[in-house]
Amino acid sequence: MPSSLRRNSLWLLLARLSAQALSILFIAVTARKLGLVEFGHFALIASVLLIGNTITNFGSDTFLIRDIARAGQVTQIASQALSLQLILSAVFCAALIFFRDPPLLLYNLALFPLALFSVNTALLRALNRMDLFWFLTLANGTLQVLAAFFSSDVLTLCVFILMGYIILSAFSYFICRGSLPGFELIPLKDFRPIFRLTLPFAVLTIFLVLIQRLGILYVSAMLDDSATGLFSSALRVVDGLKFGHYAILGALLPALSQGAPDSWRSFRSSFIFLMTVSAMFIALLIAASKPIIAILYGAEFVSAVPFLSQLGWTLLPYTVTSFISYSLVARRLEIPLAISAGVSLLFYAVLYPWLIYAGGVAGAVRAALLGEYLQSAVFVAVYLAYQKNSGVFLHEPK
């Protein structure tokens, strides 16, 4: 791997390790503060925010990283992206009024500071300021842990996290203003030009985040907060083990977009590396699910132990799907990628209610596992359809 890619991967790996370590601490503190039932309620609220953030982001982060990296400087599309995200955030928050859940409504106001934060961090990544991105990631995780430590229930937790996002977004703005040449977001530009350009990214990212959080939504709707807490606790541990994917692929995307030398060779070697790491994590979860759950969550969550070891098997197909996704994005093939994600989402939409009805939380785990392998098969089929004239997997486009 070239030195610049190694350096950027290292910074992103530090960012992901810091984020995951602080996320684990946040989860542990939150679970012990709230208990199983309230933790399940918060898991639902956090999932709604993640979905809302994905919808309002509208795929602009990936678009900004790819196109700002190619331009080599901040352009007006950054301001257009912020304008688009703020407008969509207002629409999404207005729609949530019908739910009449005060913590949910309050927590989702974080979409407004998150819009500014996401644009700023996308610009830092696109222009290879991974060091500053790591610093902001560290600050974000620290503020969330502090919010969990000082909270007493779901409502106060949501208030403190919202305050943290406001502080963090303002901080990120001043860092970018002092570090990125030509950085300018205000006055906001007309969002309509970027709306059309980011539409394929928006469809793709919305489909993918629904796939990630559909299980929690179904478990919450069909079972109860206690079941949601058990399912979410196991799912969050497995999600935390994906830090290497985020770090390496996040560093490679700007290089692939710029056509950096040897970037596709590094892409292939990274695939082999992360498949090996994923297999090691699966072995770890099989051997140590019980102490992991006990240390992180406490005795109240012990029923999640078998779910954790089973969900670990999703890491292998997730690795395949992730690399194919980034490969197609770098080739500007967002539309077939979005179609693949849409087909996968249909699988999940059928599997979750069917298997949850038959087996409760255990059925939700089986749906997540089966859905991940079906999704990987769909992505591989689409990828091979575009590579039928080449026998090389994840190769450089000609």
Q: For residue range 228-267, list pLDDT tens digits in order.
A: 888 988 888 888 777 666 656 665 665 555 555 565 666 6
Which pLDDT belongs to residue 162?
Answer: 93
Where residue 109 falls among pLDDT bands split at 50, 70, 90? very high
> Mind giving me the DSSP string for 4-34?
HHHHHHHHHHHHHHHHHHHHHHHHHHHHHHH
Note whether residue 397 is domain-resident: no
Read off the pLDDT of each residue in 289-294 and give the average, rounded to a whole number: 89
Higher pLDDT, 26 or 63: 26
Where residue 377 falls among pLDDT bands split at 50, 70, 90? very high
Q: For residue range 191-205, list pLDDT tens digits in order.
A: 787 887 777 777 877
Rounded CA-CA distance 194/198 in Å is 6
Which pLDDT belongs to residue 260?
Answer: 54
Read off the pLDDT of each residue in 154-179 and give the average, rounded to a whole number: 91
φ and ψ at 127, to 5 degrees? -100, 20
Note whether residue 398 is domain-resident: no
Which pLDDT belongs to residue 251?
Answer: 59
Which pLDDT belongs to residue 264?
Answer: 62
Note whether residue 396 is domain-resident: no
Greatest extent of the chain over all pairs of C-alpha atoms, in Å: 60
And the tokens for 319?
């690795």
Note whether residue 393 is domain-resident: no
Higher pLDDT, 57 or 349: 349
Range of the domain at 134: 3-386
Q: For residue range 119-142, list pLDDT tens digits in order.
A: 888 888 888 787 788 788 888 888
pLDDT averaged over every residue in the chain: 82
Higher pLDDT, 77 or 332: 77
Which pLDDT belongs to residue 364?
Answer: 93
Which pLDDT belongs to residue 392?
Answer: 43
Cβ neighbours around 185 below 10 Å, total: 21
Residue 138 CB-half CA count within 13 A: 12
Note whether residue 394 is domain-resident: no
Residue 389 pLDDT greater than 60, yes or no: no
Note whether residue 280 is domain-resident: yes
Do the beta carbons of residue 256 and residue 268 sit within 8 Å? no
**End-to-end CA separation in angstroms for the chain:** 20
Which pLDDT belongs to residue 102?
Answer: 85
Note whether residue 395 is domain-resident: no
Note whether residue 334 is domain-resident: yes
Where residue 362 falls among pLDDT bands split at 50, 70, 90? very high
Residue 398 pLDDT greater than 50, yes or no: no
Higher pLDDT, 161 or 206: 161
Which pLDDT belongs to residue 166?
Answer: 94
Residue 381 pLDDT greater than 90, yes or no: no
Which pLDDT belongs to residue 10?
Answer: 61
Rounded CA-CA distance 71/337 in Å is 24
| Number of domains the chain contains | 1
Listed ranges 49-53, 58-62, 374-378; the one with the highest mean pLDDT? 374-378
Across 299-312, b (16+ Cβ under 10 Å) vs e yields ebbebbbebbbbbb
Q: For residue range 1-42, list pLDDT tens digits in order.
A: 444 555 555 665 666 667 777 777 888 888 888 888 888 888
